[in-house]
Each structure stands twice: as structure tokens, then as C-alpha cells.
Amino acid sequence: MSITPQIVAKQRLVAELSELEQQIKAELRSEQHQLGTELLMVLEQHLVSFWPDLTKGRLYWPLQKSMSRLEAVLAALSQLDLNMYGICADCEKNIEPERLLHDPATQRCSRCQSLFK
């Protein structure tokens, strides 16, 4: 079996998902107030795919950034499962391979990304 770009992307995304999960848990454990402890207990009772919804409006900036990235990684993994990976979320054209190589969780082609900014 040959290694396809989708297989490589999935391996990278799964590894990043695991890193983000551990990073978020570690950050919540290090918090000195009860919100971090309570939120950690909630998250540990749910699949990581539910985390973005469970934490909306409850995180401060560094964790919001990590959660946004987690959400992008989960979206890309879902697209892989649906055989829609590499398709721009806006124009539905193929995302440039070099963009996907740089960031396998990217959701837009370069044209649409430039319009989004």
C-alpha cells in the first residue's frame, strides 16, 4: 500500500490532536482557580470532539487559541473521513497541495483565504 497525501495528513492531524488535548489539559491543571479544575473535570467526561462546544465563552485567550486550533484539526479529520479533504470550505475548489502540506488543517484555498482576512 502506498502512502498517499491523505494518509500523511491524517497522521499529522491525529498527532496534533493528541498534543492539543494534552496541552489544554495541562493548562487547565495549572490554573490556580476553581474554573480550571471544574472545566477539566467536564472535559475529561467527554470525547475531545465535544470540547469546543463545551468551552465556548469559558476560556481566556491562550486556551481560546488552542481550542480554535483543535476545532480546525477536528474539522479536517472529519473531512478526511468524508472524502472531502482538501476542498475549500468557501468555493469548493481544491486547496493547493502546498497549503495542505504546510498546514493540513487549512480550510480555504489561498484565493478564498485572502478574501477572508
Mean pLDDT, rounded, for 24-32: 84
CB atoms within 10 A of CB 95: 21
Q: Is the pLDDT assigned to residue 87 strictly greater than 70?
A: yes
At 1 the pLDDT is 58
At 68 the pLDDT is 93
Question: Which residues share a beta bridge with 16?
Answer: none
27-36, 76-85, 98-107: range with lowest mean pLDDT = 27-36
Compute the distance between CA of residue 4 and CA of residue 106 in angstroms, rounded to an integer: 18
